[in-house]
């Protein structure tokens, strides 16, 4: 199948006119017609109906269009793959202060010559779309979410299970505890503003609440980490969950306490997602580096949602 003919078909479908598509592609209208005719011969179907307003895809044309666009995307990724070493590795993390960001810093220290672009995309749908389009090379996520299996052209591997800790102010009832169980947290107010409905972390905490009867409040605007720390420090009735690998610095006067959670210890499972066709050499190096960290998944005495991809 002639890729230029496929490209021309997509251009005509987008423009709705052979003449407009010819101008967009910087070729003659006659060349457009010849390419479409050749593609129709290859496929054995008619792709367009001529109308007074231009060209309208037939039923077969509409069925072929998404596959044509995917062919073009694959071709773009194939071209990019042979030039991948000339551009940075583009990786998405949800939180620049979180565990995934720490993993990337470790990779960069081990591979100082590798150029990295680090982005933050909040929603998993945006990350999946960016991976499939080639906008980014990989994303750190908790997968798969309930009812949202990953597309077959994406691969994933769990890279680290991050324990959760309870963060309290000095006046909280559990501030001086050496550790706390999930059962002991029932009845305490855990404040986590900015919880995005439908997000992977919201799904995680929904399961945690359902299984252990916790009270997690997501009310109020999210003014960032500093405002969260200020409020928790000044409000004895509030606590929050904090990932053990999250890097935060707060004023000494806040008197904040990090209390380990145990029996079981809830862990947030971070995974790396990438497109199976992505041949960027630094992506392979990143995956090798993460595998070498030797993170233990589903360790005895830990809890994670049942829908998470096994380690």
pLDDT band at 85 (very low <50, low <70, confident <90, very high): low
- Gap between the Cα atoms of 18 and 25, Å rounded: 10
Note whether 94 and 59 are within 8 A (CB).
no
- Gap between the Cα atoms of 224 and 166, Å rounded: 18
- Gap between the Cα atoms of 124 and 256, Å rounded: 32
What the block records as the tokens of 124 is: 């998993």
Q: Is the dihedral of CA 259, 263, 265, 266 positive or negative?
A: negative
Query: What confidence score (pLDDT) does residue 50 get?
Result: 86
Of the given ranges (44-48, 104-108, 296-300), which has the lowest mean pLDDT? 296-300
Q: For the chain, what is the mean pLDDT?
A: 88
For 190-244, write each residue's pLDDT tens digit.
999 888 887 888 888 999 999 999 999 988 778 888 889 999 999 999 999 999 9
Q: What is the DSSP letter of 297?
A: -
- Gap between the Cα atoms of 222 and 91, Å rounded: 25
- What percentage of the chain exceeds 90 in pLDDT? 55
pLDDT band at 98 (very low <50, low <70, confident <90, very high): confident
Phi, psi of 11 (to 5 degrees): -65, -40
């Amino acid at each position: 199948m002639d890729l230029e003919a496929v490209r021309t078909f997509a251009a005509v479908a987008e423009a709705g006119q052979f003449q407009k598509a010819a101008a967009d592609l910087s070729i003659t209208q006659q060349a457009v017609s010849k390419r479409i005719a050749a593609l129709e011969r290859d496929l054995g179907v008619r792709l367009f109906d001529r109308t007074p307003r231009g060209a309208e895809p037939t039923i077969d044309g509409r069925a072929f269009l998404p596959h044509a666009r995917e062919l073009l995307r694959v071709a773009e990724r194939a071209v990019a793959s042979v030039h991948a070493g000339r551009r940075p590795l583009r990786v998405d993390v949800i939180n620049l202060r979180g565990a995934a960001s720490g993993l990337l810093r470790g990779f960069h220290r081990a591979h100082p010559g590798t150029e990295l672009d680090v982005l933050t995309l909040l929603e998993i749908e945006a990350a999946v779309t960016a991976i499939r389009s080639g906008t980014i090379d990989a994303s750190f996520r908790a997968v798969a979410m309930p009812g949202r299996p990953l597309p077959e052209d994406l691969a994933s591997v769990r890279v680290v299970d991050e324990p959760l800790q309870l963060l309290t102010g000095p006046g909280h009832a559990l501030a001086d505890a050496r550790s706390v169980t999930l059962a002991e947290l029932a009845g305490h107010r855990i404040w986590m503003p900015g919880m995005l409905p439908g997000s992977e972390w919201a799904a995680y905490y929904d399961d945690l609440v359902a299984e252990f009867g916790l009270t997690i409040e997501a009310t109020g605007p999210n003014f960032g980490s500093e405002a969260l720390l200020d409020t928790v420090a000044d409000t004895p009735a509030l606590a929050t969950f904090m990932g053990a690998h999250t890097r935060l610095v707060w004023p000494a006067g806040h008197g904040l306490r990090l209390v380990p959670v145990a029996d079981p210890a809830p862990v947030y499972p971070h995974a790396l997602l990438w497109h199976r066709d992505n041949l960027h050499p630094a992506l392979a190096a990143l995956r090798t580096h993460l595998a070498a960290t030797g993170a233990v998944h589903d360790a005895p005495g830990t809890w994670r949602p049942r829908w998470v991809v096994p380690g």
